[in-house]
Chains A and B, each alone.
Chain A
Amino acid sequence: DVKVTQSSRYLVKRTGEKVFLECVQDMDHENMFWYRQDPGLGLRLIYFSYDVKMKEKGDIPEGYSVSREKKERFSLILESASTNQTSMYLCASSLQGRPQETQYFGPGTRLLVL
Chain B
Amino acid sequence: QQQVKQSPQSLIVQKGGISIINCAYENTAFDYFPWYQQFPGKGPALLIAIRPDVSEKKEGRFTISFNKSAKQFSLHIMDSQPGDSATYFCAAYRAGANNLFFGTGTRLTVIP
Size class of the contact patch on chain B = 20 to 34
Q: Which of A33, A48, A58, A105 contacts B45 (CB 8 A)?
A: A105
Are B105 and A42 in contact (CB-based, < 8 A)? yes
Size class of the contact patch on chain A = 20 to 34
Are B102 and A42 in contact (CB-based, < 8 A)? yes
B38-84: which residues lie under 8 A (CB-CB) from chain A? 41-46
A59 to B93, CA, bound (A): 14
A58 to B98, CA, bound (A): 8
Given known contacts A107-B43, A108-B43, is B32 in contact with A43 (CB within 8 Å)? Answer: no
Closest chain-B Cβ to A76's Cβ sits at a distance in Å of: 15
A56 to B102, CA, bound (A): 18
Say yes or no for B9: interface residue by CB 8 A criterion.
yes
**Which residues of chain A are near B6, meaning CB under 8 Å?**
42
- The chain A residue sitting closest to B30, CB to CB, is A100
Say yes or no for A92: interface residue by CB 8 A criterion.
yes
Closest chain-A Cβ to B98's Cβ sits at a distance in Å of: 5
Name B residues whose Cβ lies closer than 8 Å to a Cβ of A: 2, 6, 9, 32, 34, 36, 41-46, 89, 93, 97-100, 102-105
